[in-house]
Amino acid sequence: MKRSLMIVFVIVALGTVLLISGCGKKKPTLYIFNWSDYIDPDLLKEFELDNNCRIRYSTFDSNENMLTKVKSSTQSFDILFPSGDHVTILNELGLLEELDKSKLTNYTNLDANLLKMATSFDPDNRYAIPYAWGLTGLLYNKQYVPEEIVASGGWNILGDSFFNGINKITMLDDAREVVGAALIYSGYSVNDTSPEALAAAHNVLKVWDRNITQFDSDSYKNEVQDGTTWLAQAYNGDAVQLMQTNPDLQFILPKEGASMWMDNMVILKSAQEKELAYKFIDFLLDAEVSMRNSEYIMYPTPNKAAMEMMGEAFIQNKIINPDEEYLDKCYMIEYLGDAVRSIDQIYESIKMN
Ligand code: SPD
């Protein structure tokens, strides 16, 4: 047999063997859309190996951006990680799959108290699996911000003339967080949309805005390290991640209180790989996996079994786990329906200024 004919024969034979054994099949692909810096990447690799699948992982930096992408994107996702108020919004749009809990063998690891809390945005816990929760405060670099400027420990630091509108301060690109901080500082809940509360918050924001150089939810994480940003409104766990490697960074949970939020895992109705999506959520609900993940992302998990296994350093960290006394001053960001428009309007007017 001629040499070239022999090569063709071998290729065809190999192809046939691969086809029969199933090894030539395209691996199923799970599309996940999560907040940035919010999962241990090793866990993604482990899941891919254990389940002979591929994960296409993309990130967002605000619920609003996530929602815009989900509504407009031609590429559909299987799993999203929205905050509580956005679980309700996605559900009202009819985008969420009602969960079959019999497919989640590790569901019982979840803390019953936190599941009850989640019913405020997901009645009867039908569509969302709580993933992590946290608080929003102020991150700063002490190389640039002297102790006396932050000594008050309150949200008013944002308005201090020391910053002079030049020394960069950022607030999150998130209407609920920005207006929420001003509401708390003015003595109201982040969910108060009464005219008095909003007028007070608006006035406070006009003062802070003299200093705010940017509304940004992601790049501050690099900039606060290199001094481009001196102080930033930031999520507590993201701050702790950065503080682990940079001793110049400090985080303040403002004395007046903070906004609180719970992020969740949901499956889209349009998901192409629903079974794999259930497997992935169940994998993350495993106590040890969840414990490893929390210690990586530095946010507490609603997984009670995982919290019981957590290391002392994590449990004792008061930025991640503040005392009950502090938590009593915090407000969970709730779904507000159409009333959210008045908050959006204030935010947009401040941002455009
Ligand atoms: N890097 C992860 C940040 C998670 C923030 N989640 C919720 C914010 C609600 N405003």
Confidence check: pLDDT of 236 > 80: yes
Confidence check: pLDDT of 35 > 70: yes
Confidence check: pLDDT of 126 > 60: yes
Ligand 1 lined by 77 (C-beta under 6 Å): no
Confidence check: pLDDT of 117 > 90: yes
Q: How far is CA 105 from the centre of its chain?
A: 24
Residue 18 CA, ligand 1 centroid: distance in Å: 44
Confidence check: pLDDT of 124 > 50: yes
Mean pLDDT for 63-85 is 91
Residue 14 within any structural domain of the chain: no
Q: How far is CA 173 from the centre of its chain?
A: 13
182 lies in the same domain as 268: no
Q: What residues contact residue 6 under an 8 Å CB cut-off, 6+ apart? A: none
- For a ligand 1 pocket test, name from 38, 89, 344 the mutation site with the most ligand atoms within 8 angstroms of its C-beta: 38
Residue 204 within any structural domain of the chain: yes
- For a ligand 1 pocket test, name from 80, 83, 236 the mutation site with the most ligand atoms within 8 angstroms of its C-beta: 83
Residue 1 within any structural domain of the chain: no
Q: Is the dihedral of CA 39, 104, 288, 325 positive or negative?
A: positive
Ligand 1 lined by 263 (C-beta under 6 Å): yes
Confidence check: pLDDT of 73 > 80: no
Confidence check: pLDDT of 68 > 50: yes
Confidence check: pLDDT of 46 > 50: yes
Instruction: Express each pLDDT in 161-209 by its tens digit.
Output: 999 877 789 999 999 999 999 999 999 999 999 999 999 999 999 999 9
Can you give the pLDDT at residue 9?
55
Atom of ligand 1 nearest to the CA of 238: 1
Mean pLDDT for 29-37 is 97
106 lies in the same domain as 152: no
Can you give the pLDDT at residue 20?
46
Inter-residue contact 129 to 108 (CB < 8 Å): no
196 lies in the same domain as 335: yes
91 lies in the same domain as 112: yes
Residue 38 CA, ligand 1 centroid: distance in Å: 9
Residue 13 within any structural domain of the chain: no
Cα-flanking dihedrals φ and ψ of residue 65, to 5°?
-65, -40
342 lies in the same domain as 231: yes
266 lies in the same domain as 304: yes
DSSP 75: S
Which CATH number belongs to the domain containing residue 68 in this structure? 3.40.190.10
Residue 16 within any structural domain of the chain: no
90 lies in the same domain as 189: no
Helix (H, G, I), strand (E, B) or coil at 271: coil
Beta strand 231-235 pairing with 129-141: antiparallel
> How many domains does one find in the chain?
2
Token output for 323 = 């005392």
Confidence check: pLDDT of 66 > 60: yes
Ligand 1 lined by 119 (C-beta under 6 Å): no
Residue 5 CA, ligand 1 centroid: distance in Å: 60
Residue 109 CA, ligand 1 centroid: distance in Å: 23
115 lies in the same domain as 165: no
Q: What is the mean pLDDT of the chain?
A: 93
Residue 89 within any structural domain of the chain: yes
Residue 235 CA, ligand 1 centroid: distance in Å: 6
Instruction: Express each pLDDT in 285-331 by its tens digit.
Output: 999 999 999 999 999 999 999 999 999 999 999 999 999 999 999 99
242 lies in the same domain as 299: no
Can you give the pLDDT at residue 223?
95
Can you give the pLDDT at residue 125?
98
Inter-residue contact 320 to 299 (CB < 8 Å): yes
226 lies in the same domain as 342: yes
Mean pLDDT for 55-81 is 92
Mean pLDDT for 131-144 is 98
192 lies in the same domain as 245: yes
Inter-residue contact 282 to 79 (CB < 8 Å): no
Residue 7 within any structural domain of the chain: no
Mean pLDDT for 37-51 is 98
Ligand 1 lined by 155 (C-beta under 6 Å): no
Can you give the pLDDT at residue 110?
98
Domain that includes residue 154, residue range = 134-260+330-352
Helices (DSSP H) in the chain: which residue ranges? 3-21, 41-51, 63-72, 84-92, 112-118, 147-150, 175-185, 195-208, 220-226, 236-243, 274-285, 287-297, 304-309, 312-316, 324-327, 340-352
152 lies in the same domain as 238: yes
Atom of ligand 1 nearest to the CA of 36: 1
Position 21 confidence tier, pLDDT thresholds 50, 70, 90: very low
Residue 22 within any structural domain of the chain: no
Confidence check: pLDDT of 5 > 60: no
Position 74 confidence tier, pLDDT thresholds 50, 70, 90: low
Confidence check: pLDDT of 131 > 90: yes
Atom of ligand 1 nearest to the CA of 177: 10
